[in-house]
Structure 1
Amino acid sequence: MLPAYATIGIWAPILLTVARCAQGLSAGGEYAGAAAYVIEHAPDDRRARYGSAMPAATFGSFAAAATITWILTELFGQQGMQDWAWRVPFLIAAPLGLVAFFIRQKLDETPEFQKAQAERDSAEAEQPSIRSVVRREWRAMAVLAGYISITGLSFYMFSTYMTTFLQQVVGMSSDTVLLSNVLALVFATALAPVIGIICDGVGRRPIMYASALLLGGLAIPAYLLAQNGTLVTALSSQILLALGAVSANVVTAVLLSEAFATTSRYTASAITYNVAYAIFGGTAPYVATYLVDRTGSAISPAVYLTVICALGLIAIRLMPETSGRPLAEQLTMTGDIPVVAADETTDDSAPHH
């Protein structure tokens, strides 16, 4: 609903950018809490498949947005989209936000949180501050952030930058690129619950390793394939990236809850998730464009993703296996190394970090 540039000049893009950033920050802040809410309702042996609803919803929403954009582009053309039709998807999203607001007002807190709240009230303890949460959880936050760097970067390289790459570097038409993107996102949406089931079966660390190896090994072939410039190769290249990106996003959704104690879960997971996503995911399109411009190599973004995946293997090595254990018993780090293995038991009297 903002006035156009002809009416208010430079304030038009400034206000649009501010509004979009506020929207993005709000959505990012909600993700960790939504993931915790879903997973705290899940049985211990099905947390990943419950948690996979989060990335499935995200990829599905991106697919819906890409579909609407593709339809609008077909109806009004590229010039029509630039002139006014770009506003339509935002207007469609507005009532969805109101529906989401209404739904969340009717939700009760999870049993896990209510139990922790009752225990804290009985002990007359104060709500932990952000500073105390960070001081207690910083090792786990740092390690998890190291892996989320892969998650954030792969998500944007797959869902956002690839469309830019296909249009600006490869030179494909926008309607063909959008069509390939829609199909790839639908594939990612369907793949997420499958990865969730596998993750519950084999554990978190195997999926973490698989995601890093898939992305690191397939990123360069995917970008080389995309340069052929056809619908089939564009779709195939995105599917190659989706295999690792979906795996990373599914396991991240459940790790956000399993890595931290209930009383500090939302704060610790939200800070970890959003800081890592902002640094690696939020900058991904810019860094990728910069690398292509500076190096002259169209596959330099794939090299960047490969390097981050290699570094992420260090974080994976430091993460303990957390699948199947009650959330209240999650211990991620003590000292400088992980101490919880899948077959270990915990003492209920021990402090839970």
Structure 2
Amino acid sequence: MASSSLAASSKRSEERRVLAGTLVGTTIEWYDFFIFAQLTATLLTPLFLQPLSVSNPGLGQILAFAMIGISFLFRPLGAIVAGHLGDKYGRKRVLVATLILMGAATALIGLLPTYATIGLWAPILLVLLRIIQGFSAGGEWGGAALMAVEHAPNNKRGFFGAFPQIGVPIGMIIATGMLYLLRTSMSPEQFAAWGWRVPFLLSVVLIVVGYLIRKAVEESPIFKQLALRKASEHTPLKQLFQTNTKEVIQAALIFIANNAAGYLVIAFFIAYTTRVLEMPTAPVLLATTIGSVGWLIFTLVGGWLSDHLGRRNTFLIGYGIVFVWMIPMFLLIETRSVFLYGVSIFILTVGLGLSYGPQSAMYAEMFPAHIRYSGISIGYALGAILGGAFASTVAEILLQRTGWSGSIAIYIMVLTLISMAAVIWVGETKGRNLHVEDIDPELQAAHDAKHRSQEA
């Protein structure tokens, strides 16, 4: 009785470490990513694209948003490399490596000279560091999602899988809150001169914390089974496209609407409200931060709900909210009221959360164990390219050509219909077996006995 109680306590402790490790890591990764996205909307154009900011501000803003998208083009490469290594050598090692890589690139952006100092080399070096960020982000999500879902009890996969997902809204809240504090604690001249570098450099501290937490997490139990079967000697990427190309395409299409709408919140809305509607920057940042709390809450709710209503139904509810809310949201934003802007963001994030929380579990349930890291990472990365990579750029072009913000709403609504169709195409995945089925029972028994003795 005492031994079983001790084992249960040990399992709960490990589960908490897993959830903390996946949450902290993705939070740091996305903090790094969002700091750049939000500063692109408000400051980096004159600093790194100085001639265009003077001669053609509209084109300068489009190219600045394109810098966000450039990093997405390298996510599939990061997903391919990290997925291959994660399926072959383990989820944990790859997670630690991607975290360090992202942090190093972010800190270096904080040290970059601007166009006024080194001319054309400034945007070139910035693009190179963005490529590194995109590469590391491409490998990060898949590993974090699998560590959470593969450690989860069968009836809590959706809830556990929502923890790496809430790293996105938490990262955004921290990034936006940090920018708000800096902008309100110094003059605009000080912020433009050196204050913008602070949030990039602070990522070094966050990386150290994330590294220590992730090092304490055990390897995924599914990967341990794969090691017993010696599936790690196979070539997961080749097998993935031989047998599961359809699932990769489905995963990409499921994600495009959520990612596109999310990046409007992350980058475009801040630029649109401050530059076009001429609303004050600091209150807009604060309203975005407060509004994004809904993203955090409803991502967890979405994961939990998917364990009860199913992944498909939860996705469809979330996407239904996004679709219905698009045009009313832009009408509220057009009022130039900071309060109504915050309300509009909050309601949007209800739909974003419900269509993001179940994603880790659904993706994991779509692929067999030996190619799972590669499958979900590549599907996620392709969805990010088709969805969020150039969403802000497309939105800016639509706005400049039509002069009507409703054209952006229609663009997101079309993507939402595509993602809803993909969810229906996949069907319900809840309850599918995640484990490796052809393990030698004697090997499994020996492995379990060795693991118990190590714990004792």
TM range (shorter): 0.7 to 0.9
- Secondary structure of the 1:249 match is coil
- Secondary structure of the 2:357 match is helix
1:322 aligns with 2:429: yes
**Structure 2 partner of 1:334:** none
Q: RMSD between aligned alpha carbons?
A: 1.8
1:112 aligns with 2:219: no
Shift of residue 236, structure 1, vs aligned partner: 1.0
Q: Percent identity?
A: 28
Q: Distance in 1 between matches of 2:418 and 2:246?
A: 17
1:282 aligns with 2:364: no
- Secondary structure of the 1:52 match is helix
**Structure 1 partner of 2:280:** 173
Code of the aligned partner of 1:232: F
1:10 aligns with 2:120: yes
**Structure 2 partner of 1:335:** none
Q: Which moved more, 1:13-22 or 1:177-186?
A: 13-22
Q: Distance in 1 between matches of 2:193 and 2:312?
A: 48
Q: Distance in 1 between matches of 2:393 and 2:203?
A: 26
Write the mapping of 1:73-222 to structure 2, written as runs, cut at 5 A. Answer: 73-120=183-230, 126-222=233-329
Shift of residue 215, structure 1, vs aligned partner: 0.9
Aligned CA distance change for structure 1 residues 77 and 279 (closer, same or farther; 3 Å): farther
Unaligned runs of 5+ residues in structure 2 are 1-110, 439-456
Q: Distance in 2 between matches of 1:21 and 1:175?
A: 29
Q: Distance in 2 between matches of 1:291 and 1:209?
A: 27
Q: Distance in 2 between matches of 1:89 and 1:227?
A: 30
Shift of residue 205, structure 1, vs aligned partner: 0.7
Is the contact between residue 211 and residue 243 of structure 1 (CA under 8 Å) also seen in structure 2?
yes
Code of the aligned partner of 1:70: Y
1:59 aligns with 2:169: yes
Unaligned runs of 5+ residues in structure 1 are 330-347
Is the contact between residue 128 and residue 263 of structure 1 (CA under 8 Å) also seen in structure 2?
no
Q: Distance in 2 between matches of 1:22 and 1:187?
A: 30
Shift of residue 165, structure 1, vs aligned partner: 2.2
Code of the aligned partner of 2:263: Y
Q: Distance in 1 between matches of 2:363 and 2:187?
A: 42
Is the contact between residue 36 and residue 256 of structure 1 (CA under 8 Å) also seen in structure 2?
no
- Secondary structure of the 2:355 match is helix
Which of 121, 132, 135 is the matching residue for 1:22? 132
| TM-score w.r.t. length of structure 1 | 0.88
1:49-90: per-residue Cα shift (whole Å, max 9, x none)?
Answer: 111111212211110110010011111233332222111000
Which of 248, 252, 269 is the matching residue for 2:355? 248
Aligned CA distance change for structure 1 residues 321 and 176 (closer, same or farther; 3 Å): same
Which of 158, 181, 187 is the matching residue for 1:71? 181
Q: Distance in 1 between matches of 2:355 and 2:271?
A: 22
Q: Distance in 2 between matches of 1:200 and 1:280?
A: 26
Structure 1 runs of 4+ with >4 Å offset: none
